[in-house]
Structure 1
Amino acid sequence: MLTYNVRALRDDKAAVAGVIRACAPDVVCVQEAPCLLRWRHECAELARESGLVVITGGRPASGNLLLGSWRTKVIATRNARLTRTRGLDLHRSQPLLERRGLAMAVLKISGVRVGFVGLHLGLDAGERARHVAEVFGHVQLLRTAYQTEHLVLAGDVNELPHQYCWIRFCVRFVDCAAVAGRADELTFPAVMPDRRIDGIFASQGLQVVDCRVVDLPEVARASDHRPVLAVLRVPA
């Protein structure tokens, strides 16, 4: 699977699709997918050019989008908006911070149900901390409603691995890059990256075969983030 912040496809759409195709993922968690006019068309076009289909997300998930291959069977989908944070956004000089959300799906892979949650946490540390608790609430609902033992969280965490939210995720899930011995591979910015703020987190029952930051030639012009690709083995 792949997680990729595509910056609303403002850079090079063809390069984004090319990167995704080259990775040949079964599932993609996209952040900053199109949310404005013709967003459905834009998301469908990205899926088609990437050789995938839209599973769920887009505007109802505040820009989180799940794409999948024909090898995955969709059991259920759900989108959610996280609580809006009121207060001055110093980054944008607006009265409200950008609304955050989740794109969620339960897929059958090799006969086993696996839940996927795509997320993009905000720039404000206090908001991120509050939203982590909400994310865990949605994860539990997904597990209970669809009897899903295995689950993957993926997205743009907007903080470093030693900070609060990343640590909270690692209490309940494993950091796939760390397990694969690639925690030193950085994701932002795409050109000369200096930090790791994008990650894939898997529940204990899933085996991490590999996890790495994608460094294809197209990555530098596709977006301002580098994507993260994980190979996970579902237990028989």
Structure 2
Amino acid sequence: MSAVLPLPDLPASRIADDGSAVVRVLSYNIRSLRDDLGALARIVRACAPDVVCVQEAPRFFRWRKAAARLATATDLVYVTGGATACGPMVLAPLRAHVEHTEDLLLPRRPGLHQRGLATAVLRFGRTARLGVVSCHLSVNVEERLAQGRLILRQLEKQGAPHAVVAGDLNDRPDGRTFRLLAGELQDGWTTAPWGREHTTRLGDPEQRIDAVFATRGVEVLGCGVPMGLPGVTEADLRAATDHLPVLAALRVPAAG
């Protein structure tokens, strides 16, 4: 197994005197918890997130119990999503105040999986409000593009002054849907690269198909795969699931 170089951490969560907040957002496809929950939990805890956008959360038999088990293992609480969003889910620590949640089912093409969005509006401190969309997009090119357009419309409907979209896009940066989102939002890795770029499982062909995007008013302080972050080991990354996580630190302005 190759050595992993130590990775300096991103800025820690904090509320500034002006009301702005540094918010750490983690996006992670967990493959329905079919792998090593202990490894997965260690990675999530080491990332110290304020928001976790989960993809492929358990969504069938006793899915709420599985979601609670994941939240307990990661020292977080369930916010929204899971079966009600066909896989995407949002978790957060108690310091995040939940203002609103909504799970949306997306239009489905015959023969393809049902997809959905887990969405929330969270507040950090007194005035830093952040819309959140966790997504897992289609493997079909045309359906995926339509889903990307619906995500942008959903951001407008949320009414939050700032927002983040995070998830498994099933698309690469040169793809139509990735370029659509990156054209309207800030692609975290492109804006402030940190850590590793590619998000496919170690040993698989290197691709960046998972991403964190932020609206223009948000300052991206760093974004990438936290490989080498203290507490995130290569062994755990291999054991936890078949994707690598994406961690971003964002400075969210106070609402005017």
Using the size of structure 2 for normalisation, the TM-score is 0.84
1:143-192 deviation digits (Å, cap 9, x = unpaired): 2xxxx110000000011101101111012110011111349710002445
- How far residue 226 of structure 1 moved from its aligned partner, in angstroms, is 0.2
8 Å contact from structure 1 (residues 157, 198) kept in 2? yes
**Residues 5-154 of structure 1 correspond to what in structure 2 (within 5 A)?**
5-86=29-110, 96-110=111-125, 111-143=127-159, 148-154=160-166
CA distance in 2 between partners of 1:192 and 1:207 (Å): 32
1:106-158 deviation digits (Å, cap 9, x = unpaired): 00013221100000001111110121122222222112xxxx11000000001
- How far residue 2 of structure 1 moved from its aligned partner, in angstroms, is 0.1
CA distance in 2 between partners of 1:204 and 1:183 (Å): 22
CA distance in 2 between partners of 1:121 and 1:65 (Å): 13
Structure 1: runs of 5+ lacking an equivalent = 87-95
CA distance in 1 between partners of 2:195 and 2:182 (Å): 13
Confirm whether residue 168 of structure 1 aligns to residue 168 of structure 2: no
Confirm whether residue 221 of structure 1 aligns to residue 239 of structure 2: yes
- How far residue 70 of structure 1 moved from its aligned partner, in angstroms, is 1.1
- State the secondary structure of the residue aligned to 1:158: coil
CA distance in 1 between partners of 2:88 and 2:211 (Å): 14
Runs ≥4 residues deviating over 6 A: none
Pairwise CA RMSD: 1.4
Letter in 1 for 2:57: A
8 Å contact from structure 2 (residues 224, 247) kept in 1? yes
8 Å contact from structure 1 (residues 187, 193) kept in 2? no
| Residues 209 and 52 of structure 1, relative CA distance in 2, 3 Å threshold | same
CA distance in 1 between partners of 2:83 and 2:132 (Å): 18
Equivalence for 1:198? 210
After the TM superposition, which of the residue ranges 46-55 and 204-213 deviates more from structure 2? Answer: 204-213
Letter in 1 for 2:124: I
8 Å contact from structure 2 (residues 196, 224) kept in 1? no
After the TM superposition, which of the residue ranges 97-106 and 181-190 deviates more from structure 2? Answer: 181-190
Using the size of structure 1 for normalisation, the TM-score is 0.91
Confirm whether residue 155 of structure 1 aligns to residue 175 of structure 2: no
CA distance in 2 between partners of 1:121 and 1:192 (Å): 20
- State the secondary structure of the residue aligned to 2:58: coil
Confirm whether residue 209 of structure 1 aligns to residue 227 of structure 2: no
8 Å contact from structure 1 (residues 129, 164) kept in 2? yes
Letter in 2 for 1:49: A
- State the secondary structure of the residue aligned to 1:99: coil
8 Å contact from structure 2 (residues 196, 226) kept in 1? no
- State the secondary structure of the residue aligned to 1:231: strand
Percent identical across equivalent pairs? 41
- State the secondary structure of the residue aligned to 1:11: coil
